[in-house]
Amino acid sequence: MQKRKLGKSNLEVSAIGLGCMGMSFSYGVLPDKKEMVSLLRAAVEHGVTFFDTAEVYGPFTNEELLGEALSPLRDKIVIASKFGFDLTSDPRGMTGGPRLDSRPAHIKQVAEASLKRLKTDVIDLFYQHRVDPNVPIEDVAGAVKDLIKEGKVKHFGLSEAGAQTIRRAHAVQPVAALQSEYSLWWRKPEAEIIPTLEELGIGLVPYSPLGKGFLTGAINEDTKFASNDFRNSLPRFTPQARAVNQAFVDLLAAIGKEKKATPAQVALAWLLAQKPWIVPIPGTTKLHRLEENIGAATLTLTADDLGRIESAASKIEAQGNRYPENLERLTGR
The runs of H, that is alpha helices, within the chain are 33-45, 61-70, 104-118, 137-149, 163-172, 193-200, 239-259, 263-274, 287-295, 303-313, 325-328
Domain extent for 105: 3-210+274-300
Portion of the chain with pLDDT greater than 70, in percent: 97
CATH number at residue 131: 3.20.20.100
Average of per-residue pLDDT across 17-43: 93
Least-confidence region, from 31-45, 84-98, 147-161, 219-233? 84-98
Instruction: Provide the domain count of the chain.
Output: 1
Asked whether residue 49 is assigned to any structural domain, the reply reads yes
- pLDDT for res 94: 44
In a domain, 261, yes or no: no
Closest of 77, 90, 160 to residue 120, by C-alpha? 77
Mean pLDDT of 151-173: 98
Q: Which pLDDT score, from 0 to 100, does residue 92 have?
A: 53
With a CB cutoff of 8 Å and minimum separation 6, the contacts of 105 are none
Within-domain flag for 236: no
Any domain includes 255? no
Could you give the residue numbers annotated as active site? 57
Show contacts of 253-262: CB within 8 Å, 24+ apart.
Answer: 253/217, 255/301, 255/305, 255/308, 255/309, 259/299, 259/301, 259/305, 261/295, 261/296, 261/299, 262/216, 262/217, 262/292
Domain membership flag for residue 306? no
Residue 295 in any domain: the answer is: yes
> pLDDT for 221-264, tens place per residue?
999 999 889 999 999 999 999 999 999 999 999 999 999 999 99
What is the rounded distance in angstroms from the CA atom of residue 84 to the CA atom of residue 86?
7
Record the pTM: 0.96
| Residue 190 counted as domain residue | yes
Lowest mean pLDDT among 22-36, 37-51, 148-162, 259-273: 22-36
Residue 215 inside a domain? The answer is no
- In angstroms, the CA 129 to CA 70 distance is 22
